[in-house]
């Protein structure tokens, strides 16, 4: 079973959220009906700056606001366009019931807007609402809720040093599900995905525990494109290495070097053949 971890260092969860500055809604505008609000949020995840909320299709609500802060309850929509979620918000050993609501309206141009309801100056913090940009399909961050709510073991780990990480990958081939990447001792990189794409570039490590690939990829299906991608590595007290995509850090996986890394460059001839064929 794949395990997920909470870093010993403080790591900020990335998310889109609704952090835009408050705006003034163009008039006239109308409130959404409850069914439309339900269709927008059902089985969707709303990322926040330090957490997220998941709105289950049967009305179940789960949320996190930090590594040890979570909420469990129900969500619903009112006939006048409010999205509400009510439940127990837990932080450590403290639990507090709470309900929060967000009003949703549509302006004359069809643009959706939302604002929190309640408190001083209620509904004064209007922001544009784009469900395609602000909501994620399904419940991809469930593991964060499971960890924050104490339903999954929290493993404390520390980032690998840059030198240790470099020694781990140098002159090794990392096996992917449908490809591989070879990390040459001098920093060169060759990689392939399937038989229709290959990449060349450089690799490096840094003090943040990142292994990074800076490469240009080629394929008959698209123009050459360059990208940089990094993976964060951390070691737990038992010596196990865990890995996650450094860009969003939403899922951690146990990384077994014996299973995932091969000595040398056993795919060198295969890579050369793919490059020659696709370069013609």
Q: How far apart are CA 191 and CA 193, in angstroms?
A: 7
Average pLDDT of the residues in 223-248: 92
Listed in sequence order, the residues at least 6 apart from 215 whose beta carbon sits closer than 8 Å to its beta carbon are 189, 191, 199, 200, 201, 202, 226, 227, 228
Listed in sequence order, the residues at least 6 apart from 260 whose beta carbon sits closer than 8 Å to its beta carbon are 174, 175
pLDDT tens-place string over residues 53-86: 999 999 999 999 888 899 999 999 999 999 999 9
DSSP state of 14: P
Give the pLDDT score at 249. 67
Read off the pTM: 0.53
Q: How far apart are CA 233 and CA 206, in angstroms?
A: 11
CB under 8 Å, gap of 24 or more: what pairs does 34-37 form? Answer: 34/77, 34/78, 34/79, 34/80, 34/81, 35/77, 36/81, 37/77, 37/78, 37/81, 37/82, 37/83, 37/104
Place of tokens 């494109």: 225
Q: Is 242 helix (H, G, I), strand (E, B) or coil?
A: strand
Whether 144 contacts 132, CB under 8 Å: no
pLDDT for residue 135 is more than 90 = yes
Q: How far apart are CA 186 and CA 168, in angstroms?
A: 14
Burial letters 80-106, b for 16+ CB under 10 A, else e: ebbbbbebebbeeeeeeeeebbbbbbb
Residues of the chain with pLDDT > 90, as a percent, come to 67
β partners of residue 127: 114
Query: For residue 133, which phi and psi values (nearest 5 degrees)?
Result: -90, -30
Region of poorest pLDDT, from 96-105, 118-127, 208-217: 118-127
pLDDT for residue 9 is more than 90 = no
Residue in 242, 270, 94 with CA at minimum distance from that of residue 173: 270
Q: Which residue has the higher pLDDT, 153 or 254?
A: 254
**Helix (H) or strand (E) run with residue 213 in it:** strand 210-219
Give the pLDDT score at 92. 77
β partners of residue 228: 214
Band of pLDDT at residue 176, cut at 50, 70 and 90: very high
């Amino acid at each position: 079973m794949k395990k997920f971890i909470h870093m010993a260092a403080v790591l900020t969860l990335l998310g889109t959220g609704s952090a835009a500055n408050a705006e003034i809604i163009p008039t006239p505008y109308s409130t959404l009906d409850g069914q439309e609000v339900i269709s927008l949020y059902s089985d969707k995840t709303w990322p926040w700056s330090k957490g997220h909320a998941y709105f289950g299709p049967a009305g179940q609500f789960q949320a996190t606001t930090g590594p040890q802060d979570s909420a469990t309850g129900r969500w619903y929509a009112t006939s006048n366009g409010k999205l509400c979620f009510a439940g127990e918000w837990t932080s450590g050993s403290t639990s507090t019931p709470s309900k929060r609501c967000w009003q949703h309206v549509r302006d004359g141009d069809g643009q959706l807007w939302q604002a929190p309801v309640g408190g001083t100056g209620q509904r004064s913090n209007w922001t544009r609402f784009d469900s395609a940009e602000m909501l994620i399909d399904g419940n991809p961050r469930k593991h964060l809720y499971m960890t924050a709510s104490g339903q999954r073991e929290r493993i404390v780990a520390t980032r690998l040093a840059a030198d240790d990480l470099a020694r781990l990958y140098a002159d090794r081939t990392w096996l992917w599900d449908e490809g591989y990447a070879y990390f040459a001792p001098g920093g060169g990189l060759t990689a392939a995905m399937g038989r229709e794409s290959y990449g060349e570039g450089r690799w490096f490590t840094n003090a943040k525990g990142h292994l990074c690939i800076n490469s240009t990829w080629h394929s008959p299906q698209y123009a050459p494109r360059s990208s940089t991608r990094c993976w964060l590595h951390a070691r737990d007290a038992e010596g196990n290495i865990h890995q996650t995509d450094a860009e969003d850090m939403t899922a951690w996986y146990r990384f077994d070097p014996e299973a995932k890394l091969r000595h040398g460059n056993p795919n060198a001839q295969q890579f050369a053949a793919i490059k020659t064929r696709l370069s013609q």
